[in-house]
C-alpha cells in the first residue's frame, strides 16, 4: 500500500516570537500568517519483508537499516520509535523549497510524517491532533527550540490567526473579501537571501532573553500588531490594505531585529533595502532569521520589473494553500 502526504509550508505575517511557550505560558501569544502553495511530499510504502533491509529512508541521503535505532534522520527515528512503527517501510521525501529557509519546513515535515503514520496505523486524526502531535515530536521528543505556529499552519492551511493562552489554542480563519485576498496573493513574493540556517540554533539567544524578560516590550509590541493586521486583512479596501500591511511588516521587521543580533546580517539588510527601492511596500525576513527568504509586498503592476531588477537574487511567486496537510494518494 502506497501513501503520499502533501503538507504546505508557511509564511508568518505578525506575532512571531510570541508563539514560544517561554512567552505565551506566562503572558499571551498570538500570530497571524498563511500556508502557501509550496509543499513537502512524503511517500510511504509498506514493504513485503523480503528485502535485505527493514527501513529505507530517502531524503538528501538514502538509508537502508534493519532497526529504528539505526535510523539517522532524527525526526523519522523519534516518530517511528514513539508510534511503534515495526512493519518494514520505504519512506521518501520531496520538497518544493530548500530546507532551513524560514518557511517552517521542519514542522511541515513533522506534520506530514505524522499524517502518514496515522494512516499507516488506520487511525483517525483531526488537524488539531496533527498540530499538537507535531509540537510534541519537535519540542518534547527532539528538544528543538521551536514555537507552535508552524505546526498549526501546516496542519490547517489557509490564512489564520492563532491565539495562544496558556495551554489553550484558538484558531480564527481570516474572513477576507475576495478582492482583498486576490490583491494580497498577487502582491506577496519571496526573495531568496542565498543563506540557509537552522532555526533552533538562531533562536537560542532570543529564548534566553525571552525567559529573562529583557525583550518583553518588543514582544508585546509584536503581539499588538496581530490585532491591527487582522482588522486590515478583513477590511474592504484592497489598495489601503496593501499599503497598511507593508508599513506594518516594516515595523515588525524593525522590532524583530532587536530580539537577537543573529536575526539579520549586513547582506540581508542590503537585499531588503534594494527591494524597497525597487517598489516593495514593505516586508520582513521569514522565520527565526539569519537567512532564508524575505517576504515582500510588491503591487502587481510593479512585480515583473521588480523580479527582473532583483537579479541575481531569486524571486518566487507564491499562492495560498487552503487544505493543510492531506493524504493525496492512498
Q: Which of 198, 222, 153 is nearest to 292 (CA)?
A: 198
pLDDT at residue 258 in the model:
85
For residues 203 and 219, give the distance between their C-alpha atoms in angstroms, rounded to a whole number. Answer: 14
pLDDT at residue 261 in the model:
79
Classify 47 in phi/psi space as left (phi over 0), alpha (psi -120 to 50) or beta. beta
What lies within 8 Å, CB to CB, of 262 at 6+ separation is: 202, 205, 206, 289, 290
pLDDT at residue 302 in the model:
94
Q: Which of 157, 149, 173, 137 is nearest to 287 (CA)?
A: 149
* ω into 312 cis (within 30 of 0): yes
Going from the C-alpha of 63 to that of each of 91, 105, 112, the distances in angstroms are 10, 21, 19
pLDDT tens over the chain, length 330 residues: 899 999 999 999 999 999 999 999 988 999 999 999 999 999 999 999 899 999 999 999 999 999 999 999 999 999 999 999 999 999 999 999 998 889 999 999 999 999 999 999 999 999 999 999 999 999 999 999 899 999 999 999 999 999 998 888 999 999 999 999 999 999 999 999 988 766 666 678 788 888 888 888 998 999 999 999 999 999 988 889 999 999 999 999 999 888 887 788 899 999 999 999 999 999 999 987 778 999 999 999 999 999 999 999 999 999 999 999 999 999
Domains of the chain: 2-175+322-329 (3.30.230.10), 178-317 (3.30.70.890)
**How many CA atoms lie within 13 Å of 71's alpha carbon, on the beta-carbon side?**
24
pLDDT at residue 289 in the model:
76
Burial readout 221-235 (b: 16 or more C-beta within 10 A, e: otherwise): ebbebbeebbebbee
pLDDT at residue 200 in the model:
60
Amino acid at each position: 500500500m502506497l501513501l503520499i502526504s502533501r503538507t504546505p509550508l508557511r509564511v508568518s505575517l505578525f506575532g512571531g516570537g510570541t508563539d514560544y511557550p517561554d512567552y505565551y505560558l506566562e503572558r499571551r501569544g498570538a500570530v497571524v500568517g498563511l500556508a502557501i502553495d509550496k509543499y513537502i511530499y512524503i511517500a510511504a510504502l509498506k514493504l513485503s519483508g523480503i528485502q535485505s533491509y527493514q527501513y529505507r529512508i530517502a531524503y538528501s541521503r538514502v538509508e537502508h537499516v534493519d532497526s529504528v535505532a539505526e535510523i539517522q534522520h532524527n525526526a523519522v527515528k523519534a516518530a517511528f520509535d514513539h508510534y511503534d512503527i515495526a512493519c518494514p517501510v520505504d519512506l521518501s521525501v520531496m520538497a518544493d523549497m530548500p530546507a532551513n529557509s524560514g518557511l517552517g519546513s521542519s514542522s511541515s515535515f513533522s506534520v506530514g510524517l505524522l499524517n502518514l503514520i496515522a494512516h499507516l496505523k488506520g487511525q483517525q486524526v483531526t488537524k488539531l491532533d496533527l498540530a499538537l502531535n507535531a509540537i510534541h515530536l519537535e519540542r518534547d521528543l527532539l528538544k528543538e527550540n521551536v514555537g507552535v505556529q508552524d505546526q498549526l499552519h501546516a496542519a490547517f492551511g489557509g490564512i489564520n490567526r492563532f491565539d495562544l493562552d496558556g495551554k489553550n489554542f484558538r484558531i480564527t480563519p481570516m474572513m477576507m473579501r475576495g478582492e482583498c485576498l486576490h490583491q494580497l496573493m498577487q502582491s506577496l513574493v519571496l526573495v531568496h537571501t542565498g543563506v540557509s540556517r537552522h532555526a533552533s540554533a538562531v533562536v537560542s539567544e532570543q529564548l534566553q532573553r525571552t525567559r529573562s524578560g529583557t525583550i518583553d516590550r518588543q514582544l508585546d509590541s509584536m503581539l499588538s500588531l496581530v490585532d491591527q493586521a487582522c482588522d486590515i486583512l478583513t477590511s474592504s479596501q484592497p489598495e489601503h490594505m496593501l499599503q497598511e500591511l507593508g508599513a506594518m511588516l516594516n515595523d515588525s521587521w524593525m522590532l524583530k531585529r532587536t530580539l537577537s543580533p543573529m536575526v539579520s546580517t549586513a547582506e540581508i539588510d542590503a537585499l531588503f533595502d534594494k527591494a524597497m527601492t525597487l517598489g516593495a511596500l514593505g516586508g520582513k525576513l521569514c522565520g527565526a532569521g539569519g537567512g532564508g527568504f524575505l517576504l515582500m509586498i510588491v503591487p502587481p503592476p510593479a512585480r515583473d520589473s521588480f523580479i527582473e531588477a532583483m537579479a541575481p537574487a531569486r524571486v518566487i511567486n507564491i499562492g495560498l494553500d487552503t487544505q493543510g496537510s492531506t493524504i493525496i494518494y492512498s
